[in-house]
Amino acid sequence: MASPPLIDPKIDRPILTFGTGRGGTTVFLRVLSEHPDLAWFSNYTHHFHHRACFPLAFLSRLRDMPWLGERIPYEWKLRPKPREANKLYRAITNGAFTQPAALGRDDADDVQKSVWRQAFRSHMFWQGKKRFLNKHTGFPRCDYFLEIFPDARFIHVLRDGRAVANSLLNVDWWDGTLENSWWWGDMDPAYLEEFEASGRQPLVLAGIVWKTLMLHNERELQAVTPEQKLEVNYTDFVADPYGMMDRVREYCDLRPSELFDRRIRAVRIHNADDKWQRDLTPEQQQLLTRTIGTELEHFGFAL
């Protein structure tokens, strides 16, 4: 019988947040990262992503400096901010993590385990924190990360597929074509037929992206123990950030903190969850409902 995976004593229950692109994970990360016990990859370690630059994580301590930290505007260009560090992920794993394909336990070989643990430990050291918080979008990577961090705590942020699809239509890096906007392996033949029947409408492809990734997320989460997973509905989160963060804090076993509470209340969260109702015509809304209506109901979103 194979021995159980070794839990790294220096990395205690890392918090791994994930979801679909345009699904609310960025603002969720921004709020949760305000807890004073959490380290994270920053805009600095994203852009200066070589291992020799890991000490730049020290800059994130500016946030903890008395008086100064509370006065640094979040919008200030030079302020260290938590982010999905795709350039770093690509660099430390030689492209393995960011490839457009699902990853499993077998993909987390000794090299992959070493680079991730080194990156987490280094950032925790330079930031002076006890726990690590990370975020990624796209494929869920639960099986892969469980092989590396068997005591991980996963948080799946899920957002109404109509809001996600509408958001995709309004970003400049997504053009709604198969050639440039489909990164999720072979498309389900039924979905491809659906897309072709629509005349290759970008709105339909956006809906297919959402339901494809949501089903990937659901399948991988089935293998995660109940104690190691939490689902956060983005609508509930933006309606009551403080209440949701209290629930998340308890799930992650983070200590109560007046500083955290004060920081949460200071964050301005723009609720654009119903923007799709204003942006999409009635005909577009009907088309999108035909595309993802079954999945919306399955994941608990009201039609």
Nearest to 229 by CA among 172, 153, 286: 153
The answer to whether residue 161 sits within a structural domain is: yes
The answer to whether residue 3 sits within a structural domain is: no
**pLDDT of 240-260, one tens digit each?**
999 999 999 999 999 999 999
**Position 72 pLDDT exceeds 90:** no
Q: Give me the pLDDT at residue 33, please.
A: 97
Q: How many other CB atoms are there within 10 angstroms of residue 16's CB atom?
A: 24
Q: Give me the pLDDT at residue 272, please.
A: 87
Number of separate domains in the chain: 1
Q: Which residues contact 150 (CB under 8 A, 6 or more apart)?
A: 4, 5, 7
**Position 288 pLDDT exceeds 80:** yes
Indicate the angle between helix axes 161-168 and 202-221, nearest 10 degrees.
130
Nearest to 231 by CA among 82, 12, 25: 25
29 close to 17: Cβ distance less than 8 angstroms:
yes
Rounded mean pLDDT, 264-282: 93
**Position 8 pLDDT exceeds 80:** no
**34 is in which domain, residue-wise?**
15-298
The answer to whether residue 8 sits within a structural domain is: no
The answer to whether residue 269 sits within a structural domain is: yes
DSSP state letter for 101: S
The answer to whether residue 209 sits within a structural domain is: yes
Q: Give me the pLDDT at residue 176, please.
A: 97
Q: Give me the pLDDT at residue 9, please.
A: 59
Put the strands of the sheet holding 38-40 in their side by side order. Answer: 38-40, 131-137, 15-19, 153-158, 229-233
Radius of gyration of the chain, Cα coordinates, nearest whole angstrom: 20
The answer to whether residue 107 sits within a structural domain is: yes
Q: Give me the pLDDT at residue 1, please.
A: 38
**Position 2 pLDDT exceeds 60:** no
Q: Which residues contact 64 (CB under 8 A, 6 or more apart)?
A: 36, 128
**Position 6 pLDDT exceeds 80:** no
Task: Assign 3-class secondary structure to 115-138.
Answer: HHHHHHHHHHHHHCCCEEEEEEEC
The answer to whether residue 192 sits within a structural domain is: yes
pTM of the model: 0.95
**Position 73 pLDDT exceeds 90:** no
**Position 7 pLDDT exceeds 80:** no
Averaged pLDDT score across all residues of the chain:
94
Residue at 204: amino acid letter: V
Give the whole-angstrom CA distance, residue 25 versus residue 69: 24
**pLDDT of 92-123, one tens digit each?**
999 999 998 999 999 999 999 999 999 999 99
The answer to whether residue 5 sits within a structural domain is: no
Residue at 73: amino acid letter: P
CATH of the domain at 137: 3.40.50.300
